[in-house]
Chain A
Amino acid sequence: MSTAQLILDNTGEDPRRRAPLVLGEQNLATVTDTVCGIVERPRPPRAWTVALAVSASLTAVLFAMLGYLFVTGIGVWGNNIPVAWAFDITNFVFWVGIGHAGTLISAILFLFRQKWRTAINRFAEGMTIFAVICAGLFPLVHVGRPWLAYWLFPLPNQMQVWPQFRSPLLWDVFAVSTYFTVSLLFWYVGMIPDLATLRDRATTKVRQIVYGILALGWRGSGRHWHRFEKAYMLLAALATPLVLSVHSVVSFDFAVSKLPGWHTTIFPPYFVAGAIFGGFAMVLTLLIPVRSLLRLEHLITLRHLENMAKIVLATGMMVGYAYSMEVFIAWYSGNPAEAFTFRNRAFGPYGWSYWLMVSCNVLAPQVFWFKKVRTTPWAILLVAVLVNVGMWFERFVIIVTSLSRDFLPSAWGSFVPTPVDLLTLAGSFGLFLTLFLLFLRFGPMIAMAEVKSVMPEGGLELGPHRGHGQYWGEIPHQHQGQYEEER
């Protein structure tokens, strides 16, 4: 083993040395053993069992609350007129936003040839799927009669009425369902080679059958890899505009209306930046404990965490810019209704939530300017949790402050959450974490095939660098003669 592989700190910024993405003495076999070992160990770690017990109980609370809602009606929530959207849509936008980090890591970083994505993309894609499941729940239940949700789709029906396609709410149906489908495909396609690895290592018949069927009979054929890589790159290229479009469409739900505080053209880019910001914070919130509990520090290295902290800092600044630009436009436009909305946001009855949002989203990430903070996992975790809180409150501020103070004081109202609102929100975290913990235990949580191909044994330096695979990353030039000599 060369000394290069024994480096245990890869956070250096010396441009003459390529930072290794896998630390310690690792080879193809040890990576396989490490990742498959999580799934194959006979008993899960105690922390996993405890976490699953808690999150499954919260999921039960969620279903109890939804059952109560269906039986009784939307009145069990604090929603009213004028605040007809409150926790339900806040939770929806929050969870959809969380989902954006997964596709960003898997698609956009893939196209930008950011090889460090390989250790975290599977994890983040799984998180996306589960977050979008939680998100999809809320619009479904807030319509009040979820058994009529099929009215949202253009299905021929006995009423002979079609959905109204000029409404952003209908665009949302298409955007979120497409996003879910494409994210699921992306996640699954990337997982096929790793499912084949789990199948080939299976020691029980049940595992062999289940992983065998899921792996579709993948056998690592060179001809299959060729089409696989092409399909994967095309999916990344398709998912990239998709991820930007989904939160833009979600922001149209607000921006296309004529309510002060909603009717603004900055919303699509502002929402997309916020979604990436919140999503990366959630990836960090989950990744840091998992990485240390499952001892994956040599695969998910400090450099990975540092890179994500930098993205949180950058997107946090974009969000901060959007906040200040909204205030600026409220003043500069000279529109009294708009100006009042922003005065009310900062100093009105919900002013505390505005300042909570600003401190968590704009001020807290500023500590990431310091390298010491960016390379201290518990400090990153702390900031990430604050950002999660801040991003939930951002949606709450946008929705509730604008709705509660309309144009005419006679139409003003206020919103107070009921216990059902709070328990439903807590329950959605339970559902998210339950799905996530089950994936950790039963699925390949690190993309083994991708991590292996960025290791020295992956043979990146061999062969001509045209055609498939070149987007895995750049190649150190000093090795290029090697293949010719071996021939």
Chain B
Amino acid sequence: MKRLSFFRAARAVPGSLFGVLAEFETVAQVLAAAERVREAGYQRFDVYSPIPIHGLDEAMGIRTTRLPYLVAAGGAAGALLGLALQWWTNAVDYPYLISGMPRFFLVASVPVAFELTILLAALGAVLGMVAANGLPQLHHPLFAVEAFRRASADRFFLCIEASDPRFQLEPVRDLLRAAGASRVLDVER
């Protein structure tokens, strides 16, 4: 199948290496490889897989995301916005006098405040996740690698990036081969 070039970068400068990519056949192999790479002291590397892998966070040393705080902040903002909106519009700016009910009444304000809490918290979760992941990012050097297409289907990849302070081409290739990679490829920037 011919590689379509829509998302490929402008012509790569020769010699500018993005990193070294290793292909693995199973979850167990890539998990063990991630642990070896981390123990060898590399920091700028990543695992690419079609499914979330259990135990990968520990193997790679990924720190727990702070996304829940953003979601909590979104929820709190939504609740306050909901209450303030109902208080301002119905009790202050245009006071409604209906059946002798109080102009602002907390219990009757719960449904709208609740819905806005959920809405802003959910938006925080999604937009926060997308932004923290640096998405949308339609181009990435890995997309130019034909073999990498299977990263979203049935293969597992590990890429050590050339920007890692410990990066040296030959030792990195050897390490990945020794870790059980079925294929090791250089990736152009």
Q: Can you list 28 A-B pairs with a CB-CB distance of less than 8 A?
A: A29-B153, A154-B85, A178-B116, A193-B152, A201-B153, A203-B1, A205-B6, A219-B151, A221-B48, A222-B57, A223-B62, A227-B65, A227-B67, A228-B52, A230-B67, A231-B128, A234-B125, A242-B115, A249-B111, A448-B50, A459-B53, A463-B59, A467-B64, A468-B57, A472-B52, A483-B55, A486-B28, A487-B32
Are B119 and A182 in contact (CB-based, < 8 A)? yes
- The distance in angstroms between the C-alpha atoms of A349 and B105, with both chains bound, is 41
- Among A229-249, those with CB < 8 Å from B are 229-231, 234-235, 238-239, 241-242, 245, 249
A227-B89 in contact given A202-B4, A463-B58 (Cβ < 8 Å): no
Indicate with 1 or 0, residue by residue over B12-54, a CB within 8 angstroms of chain A CB atoms: 0000000000000011100110110000000000111111111
Are B133 and A463 in contact (CB-based, < 8 A)? no
| Interface SS of B by simple majority | helix
Q: Across the interface, which residues of A come within 8 angstroms of B71, CB to CB?
A: 234, 238
| B136 proximal to A (CB < 8 A) | yes
- The distance in angstroms between the C-alpha atoms of A238 and B128, with both chains bound, is 15
- Among A178-202, those with CB < 8 Å from B are 178, 181-182, 185-186, 189, 193, 196-197, 199-202
Are A171 and B133 in contact (CB-based, < 8 A)? no
Are A174 and B153 in contact (CB-based, < 8 A)? no
Q: Which 3 A-B pairs have CB atoms at the shortest separation, nearest pair first?
A: A463-B55, A459-B27, A231-B129
Q: Give me 20 other A-B pairs in contact (C-beta within 8 A), A213-B138, A217-B140, A223-B46 excluded.
A: A27-B154, A28-B51, A28-B154, A32-B153, A164-B98, A170-B112, A174-B112, A181-B122, A182-B122, A185-B122, A222-B46, A228-B133, A230-B65, A238-B125, A448-B50, A450-B51, A459-B31, A462-B27, A463-B58, A469-B52
| A175 proximal to B (CB < 8 A) | yes
- The distance in angstroms between the C-alpha atoms of A208 and B186, with both chains bound, is 24
- The distance in angstroms between the C-alpha atoms of A202 and B149, with both chains bound, is 10
| A458 proximal to B (CB < 8 A) | yes
- Among B72-92, those with CB < 8 Å from A are 75, 85-86, 89-90
Tally A residues with Cβ within 8 Å of B.
Answer: 84
- Among A141-177, those with CB < 8 Å from B are 154, 160-166, 168, 170-171, 174-175
Q: B residues within 8 Å of A by Cβ?
A: 1, 4, 6-7, 26-28, 31-32, 34-35, 46-60, 62, 64-65, 67-68, 71, 75, 85-86, 89-90, 93-94, 96, 98, 101, 105, 108-109, 111-112, 114-116, 118-119, 121-123, 125-126, 128-130, 132-133, 135-140, 142-143, 148-154
Are B136 and A216 in contact (CB-based, < 8 A)? yes
A463-B118 in contact given A193-B152, A231-B129 (Cβ < 8 Å): no
Q: Across the interface, which residues of B come within 8 angstroms of A252, CB to CB?
A: 111
Residue of B at shortest CB range from A195?
B152
A231-B126 in contact given A163-B89, A164-B98 (Cβ < 8 Å): yes
